[in-house]
Amino acid sequence: MSFINLREKIVQVKVVYYGPGRGGKTSNLEYINRKFSKQIQSEMVSLKTHGDRTLFFDFLPLIWER
């Protein structure tokens, strides 16, 4: 899902990863968070269990502004 505001030059994107455990979904979001940390204006939210596995979801809001 995406939202494009041409007037304010803002693009909001929602990407959903679905797959088996240990498939790299959380690692991928953590990489994106590190790589674009200068452009990202928000924090990544991750819910993990004792075994360091994601319980329900990770959330990384990405908003690019120009």
Q: pLDDT tens-digit profile of 13-48?
A: 777 778 787 888 888 888 888 888 787 777 777 766
Q: H or E element: which one contains 12? A: strand 10-13
DSSP-assigned letters across all residues of 39-52 = T--S--EEEE-TTS
Taking a C-beta distance cutoff of 8 angstroms, is the pair 48, 15 a contact? no
Site of tokens 């909001």: 12
Check: pTM over 0.95? Answer yes or no.
no
Q: Cα(2)–Cα(12) distance, rounded to whole angstroms?
A: 5
Q: Which of the two residues, 65 and 35, has the higher pLDDT score?
A: 35
Q: H or E element: which one contains 57? A: strand 54-59
